[in-house]
Structure 1
Amino acid sequence: MFKQPSAADRPWWWQLVDASGAEVPVDGELAGQRFANQSDAESWVGEVWQELLDAGVAAVVLFEHDRQVYGPMKLTA
């Protein structure tokens, strides 16, 4: 039987925020993404940054479990 990875298996995640720093709820495949390592997390945001921007996300903050690694990082120049 297939078991979904737990948060412990995929500790890396992005907090998605608007220009004021408030968390932005997103739907579909953008929602609730978690990653096994920092590289996978960074690759994902590099692939979907435009979709995030279109959904109202202005910046992202990278976390490992509950530790803020870096950010907020703006999605625009």
Structure 2
Amino acid sequence: MIRAQWEWALEDAAGVRLDRPISPVFGNQFDAEQWLGENWRDLAKQSAAVARLLHDGVQAAAPVTLRIP
């Protein structure tokens, strides 16, 4: 049985996908969302401006803007 994979595609402010930092791959949506909630500030400091949740390579939710107030 193949497990579904959830991961974040991270983009800079210009919409270019970043190759660093890299999102881990998760077995479920909850764990993926929890990871982003715990790490979004660090990701934003590394030039990530937008996070897109991918489910088996297909966008699964609206993009999340990563903005430090």
TM-score by length of 1: 0.76
Q: Could you tell me which amino acid in structure 2 is paired with residue 25 of structure 1?
A: D
Amino-acid identity (%): 33
Shift of 1:21: 1.1
Higher strand share: 1
Larger radius of gyration: 1
TM-score by length of 2: 0.84
Structure 1 counterpart of 2:41: 50
Between Structure 1 and Structure 2, how many residues are aligned? Answer: 67
Show structure 2 runs of 5+ residues with no match: none
Paired residues of 2:9 and 2:23 also in contact (CA < 8 A): no
Of residues 17, 20, 41 in structure 2, which corresponds to 1:23?
A: 17
Aligned-residue Cα RMSD (Å) equals: 1.7
4+ residue runs over 4 A deviation: none
Cα distance in 1 for residues equivalent to 2:62 and 2:14: 14
